[in-house]
Amino acid sequence: MFSTLDNLKHQLLLKLCYGMGLRVSELVNLKILDIDSGSMQVLVSRGKGKKDRYVTLPKSILADLRLYYKEYKPKVFLFEGMHGGQYNIRSVQQVFKDALKNAKVNKKVGAFGLRHSYATHLIEQEQIYGLYRNF
């Protein structure tokens, strides 16, 4: 699905949503200063319940993130609209919808599906890792 998108910003939007299990609202609220590539941590400010938390930045996304930063030069928010300011939640949802269509996925699922996939894959990894830990 990611490879069907030609736009680096659109790819990164969806990769971060999936790779860190973010809600779309959390994704568009990310600021440049929230990202610490040294510790591979991202601060998610005022997520659901107005709570702050840290999530791990996937190493597989770091190169794309640096390329995106050099190309788009965001000022405050990591993802900014055409005229600055926060990227629109509806725009992220449309990017997701277009990616599904391009990948010929015929399921009724929203961008929140990326968060669910992230959680499902974490559980699957834990189950596999848990099996090996017992040996």
Please identify which residue in the block is written with the tokens 């860190």.
20
CB 114 within 8 A of CB 18: yes
Tell me the C-alpha distance between 122 and 52, whole Å.
Answer: 21
Domain count, the chain: 1
pLDDT in tens, the chain (135 residues): 667 778 999 999 988 987 888 888 999 999 999 999 999 999 998 766 778 999 989 899 999 999 999 999 999 999 999 888 999 989 988 888 888 787 677 777 655 555 556 455 555 555 555 655 544
CATH label of the domain that carries residue 47: 1.10.443.10
Question: Comparing C-alpha atoms, which of 5, 57, 20 is closest to residue 36?
Answer: 57
Which residues span the domain enclosing 121? 2-133
